[in-house]
Amino acid sequence: MRCPYCQQDDDRVIDSRATDDGTAIRRRRECQACGKRFTTYERVEGEEVLRVAKKDGRVQSFDRKKLLHGMMVACEKRPVGTEELEAAANRIHHLLLAEGDREIPSSRIGELVMGELHRLDQVAYVRFASVYRQFKDLDEFMSELKRVLGGGRPDLGGQA
């Protein structure tokens, strides 16, 4: 494993444990060259390939890293841990696999992400929703914000 700080490939594993949902192994590593520590996740590559149907008609492979990155951006500077986001991404991925469709509309993934973020952090949810839903004006944004502040469930389009 190459160190993300100094790019050397001489590291040692300090700690290994399964993630809470049991779908990956979390490894704490220490670079022997620079002494910095970092975390890696090891998971089985599924033989089942999911495809994402984008709004513009393109179809591309499902990318769990892209899903996780979008959630991390929404949670930036919020009290949501990486392990919580990893678990949420795993739940979304497993749900999509369990549904049995191999081609998933990107809107379905967005709704699932909003549902997970709503449970994890309301500010992160509103951040993601404001970009995902592309609110046309302040009234639409305020309407969603009032729904969240009122303790109501977000409008997930009948899904999640």
* pLDDT, tens only, 122-133: 889 888 887 777
Distances (CA, A) of 139 to 22, 51, 117, 126: 43, 35, 22, 14
Q: What is the pTM of this model?
A: 0.63
- The average pLDDT across 21-48 equals 84
Does position 47 have pLDDT exceeding 50, yes or no?
Answer: no
Q: What confidence category does residue 159 fall into, taking pLDDT thresholds of 50, 70 and 90?
A: very low
For residue 117, with 0-12 CB atoms within 10 Å meaning exposed, 13-18 middle and 19 or more buried, which class applies? buried
Cβ neighbours around 85 below 10 Å, total: 22
Maximum Cα interatomic distance, the chain, rounded to a whole number of Å: 54
Does position 32 have pLDDT exceeding 70, yes or no?
Answer: yes
What is the per-residue pLDDT for 45? 65
Output the average pLDDT for the chain: 85
Does position 115 have pLDDT exceeding 50, yes or no?
Answer: yes
